[in-house]
Amino acid sequence: MKISFQKQLINPDLPCHMDGYADRISYEQHDDLEINSFLIESNEIILFHVLDIILIEKQFGEKVKSILSEKFSISKENIIIEATHTHSGPKVSTTFYPEITPSKDYLQLLLDMIVKNTEFCLNNKMEARAYYGTCEINGYYCNRNDKSLPFNNKGYILQFRNHSNCPLVSLINIACHPTVLAKDNLFISSDYIGELREEYFNLNQTPAIIINGECGDVSTRFTRQGDDFEETRRIGKGIARVLSEVKDFREISMDNLSISSFTLNIDKTIDPTVHLYEFNDIRFVTIPGEIVYNLGQLIRSQDGKPTFILAYANEYNGYAVDKEQYGKYFESSITNYPYGKADELIGGVLNLIKSKS
């Protein structure tokens, strides 16, 4: 197996409109926004681009994939474009407040950095082996609708090492909304995600790519001690320290990659697609938007095989809420999924998994 990794800054020109919450205009930047790109070459190539923005609009995701496919001869299904979901980034879509359009220059910057990183990753592959470890992350976040309800407190680490056993880069899958900062924050920021990445590197001398999972109903609402940058530091650094304490890694095989997908036709304009990336010992599942804990658990508990859930991937369809919770909480009001349709989408994922067993 070979891998490669590259990151770039994707800071906007200021002032700019912000995405998430009500419309705001930012005149200052607190911390850098990044695109973290990662390539895995097994029997096929899989390419990740993870951006510090709120979401991937479908039109933008499709445009990116078309350009990369044509320029580098990579199949579109082998490309994953994902957002970390910070609510303190520049406006990148018309999902919220459609009367305010994103900056074309900023979207072009994102596209240019994606192309640049793709070229670098294709030209700088190195031999690597994969190691998998987990931990529990307690006290920093919980179910945001009711702290007594369940949530995923696991951190999943996929660490890649060279043949001298030195770590090269880690993929980290957690499940918590990056909404520590208050709604009135006017600073561009990656929220706690950037602090987590920085502290993880300081502690391990290893870059980390943070992939958000089933955090549709998970946040720091009941656990945070403030809503400012001191708190993003406390939470980001605290989570990084917990992740860094993981020492019990086991080597896994990432051979025999197979890719499959399922599309749910809701109406003529809404047709969310999930992808399954199945390796020998691990799988990745992309979700085109936000997914709640109950549905995430259905995916993770199928057969005990390590699973990374990549939410906010390729397009955005709001919250995927299961029938049991539908209508009870806020998430049901911001979704393209009518009652029962999110369950059908995840049912499609489960059928894909079963077809591989």
**In this model, does residue 334 exceed pLDDT 90?**
no
Could you give the CA distance from residue 88 to residue 12 in angstroms, rounded to a whole number? Answer: 12
For 104-121, write each residue's pLDDT tens digit.
999 999 999 999 999 999
Mean of pLDDT values over 280-284: 97
Residue 103 is predicted with a pLDDT of 97
Per-residue pLDDT averaged across 315-342, rounded? Answer: 94
Write out pLDDT tens, residues 288-317: 999 999 999 999 999 989 999 999 999 999
CA distance 347 to 96: 28
Look at residue 242 in the predicted model and tell me its pLDDT.
Answer: 98
| Cβ atoms of 195 and 203 closer than 8 Å | no
Q: What is the dihedral of CA 251, 152, 85, 200, to 10 degrees?
A: -50
Tokens of 223: 């656990």
Q: Which tokens is 174 given?
A: 């957690």
Mean pLDDT over 254-260 rounds to 96
Q: How confident is the model at residue 269 (pLDDT cuts 50, 70, 90)?
A: confident
- What are φ and ψ of residue 220, in 5° steps? -95, 15
Mean pLDDT of 160-171: 96
What is the band of 357 on the pLDDT scale with cuts at 50, 70, 90?
A: confident
- In this prediction, residue 100 carries a pLDDT of 94
- The residues, any chain, with a CB within 8 Å of residue 335's CB and separated by 6 or more, are 289, 317, 318, 319, 320, 321, 342
Average pLDDT over residues 223-242: 98
Give the pLDDT band of residue 16 (cuts 50, 70, 90). very high
- Give residue 142's pLDDT band: very low, low, confident or very high (50, 70, 90): very high
CA distance 79 to 121: 13
pLDDT of residue 96: 85
Query: How high is the pLDDT of residue 167?
Result: 96
The CA distance from 230 to 181, in Å, is 10
- Over range 160-168, report the average pLDDT: 96
Cα–Cα distance between 85 and 179 in angstroms, integer? 9
Residue that the structure tokens 């894909």 belong to: 352
- Confidence band, pLDDT 50/70/90 cuts, at residue 58: very high
- CA–CA separation, 160 vs 128, rounded Å? 6
> What value does the mean pLDDT take over residues 135-162?
97
269's CB contacts (< 8 A; 6+ apart) are none
- Please check the confidence at residue 50 and state whether its pLDDT lies above 80: yes
Q: What is the mean pLDDT of residues 166-190?
A: 97
68-111 confidence digits (pLDDT tens) = 999 999 999 999 999 999 999 999 999 888 999 999 999 999 99
Mean confidence (pLDDT) of the chain: 96
Proportion of the chain above pLDDT 90, given as a percent = 95
Examine the pLDDT at 342 and tell me if it is beyond 90. Answer: yes
In the sheet with 45-51, reading across from the earlier edge strand, the strands are: 79-83, 45-51, 34-41, 2-9, 126-127
pTM score, whole prediction:
0.97
